[in-house]
Amino acid sequence: MQRRKHIHFILGFLLMMASVFLSTFDAYAFSITGIIDGVYDTGIRGWAFNSSDPESELDVKVVITNQASGQIVSELHTNAALHRKDLAEQGKGTGNYGFEVEVPWDTYGDGSYLIEAYGAGQKLSGTQIHGVGAAAVSTPALRSLGIFRTTAYCPCRQCSGKWGGRTSTGTIASANHTISVDPRVIPYGSRLMIGGVIYTAEDCGGGVKGNHVDIYFNTHGETRAYGSRNLEVYLVQ
């Protein structure tokens, strides 16, 4: 009996410590904000700010991915410590939270590149696409619509009922292209970038309401593997 009480005490203590750790981690994660707000021929600029520790300099990692191949061509590291007058005027501490990194675009070759940034491991907003060479002319501009819940569906009866691969707009759904949206939030025909892939809003679903996007896959196994993810969604302009 005494041994059982001792085990219960240890388990309770471990659960309490885990709860404290997770709550501290969550508070730290949600206190970090920032954005990539400039991409140019020689580099990238942005800012990252930890509101729970305004005196800290966040480590920033910039990840550049070739959109065609999905290969990460570069991971660049810097600190968010440059003074930005605009941040100070907005009341963000000292305003010393800017960052800039030089990028050797000409060494990557012609193509379209996805640019993402992380501050102390937390993803910053403002994901960008930058074109090099011939792709520079056709590179689209992006506008963040915020964080959406994203799920997956396929043409099987469980996901699509009698509709199969047909969409509500009359097209035939295809992977890496079709998404289902709430047309009151995202109009049909809109092009959205989610996770580095550009989709077209051409379907709707009874369970797709508000800030929710359902991504079309070819098989039910792929939908199960995808599950549900909260991702930043960008309007391709």
CATH number at residue 212: 2.40.40.10
Give the Cα separation of 8 and 20 in Å (integer). Answer: 18
Residue 187 counted as domain residue: yes
The residue count of the chain comes to 237
Residue 17 exposed, middle or buried by CB count within 10 Å (0-12, 13-18, 19+) = exposed
Assign residue 176 a region (left: φ > 0; alpha: ψ between -120 and 50; beta: otherwise): left
The range of the structural domain enclosing residue 192 comes to: 143-236
Q: What is the largest CA-CA distance in the chain?
A: 76
Report how far residue 216's alpha carbon sits from residue 98's, in angstroms, rounded to the nearest whole number. Answer: 38
Domain end marker among 139, 156, 176: 139
**Does residue 20 or residue 161 have the better pLDDT?**
161
pLDDT in tens, 78-121: 999 999 998 888 888 999 999 999 999 999 989 989 899 999 98
Share of the chain above pLDDT 70, in %: 86
41 and 89, same domain (yes or no): yes
Amino acid letter, residue 199: Y
For residues 74 and 78, what is the distance between their CA atoms, to the nearest angstrom?
13
- Provide the pLDDT for residue 139: 66
Asked if pLDDT for residue 164 goes beyond 90, the answer is no
For the segment 129-153, the average pLDDT, to the nearest whole number, is 84
Number of domains within the chain: 2
For residue range 36-78, list pLDDT tens digits in order: 888 888 999 999 999 889 998 999 999 999 988 889 999 999 9
Check whether residue 95 and residue 175 sit in a common domain: no
- Regarding whether 182 and 113 lie in a shared domain, the answer is no
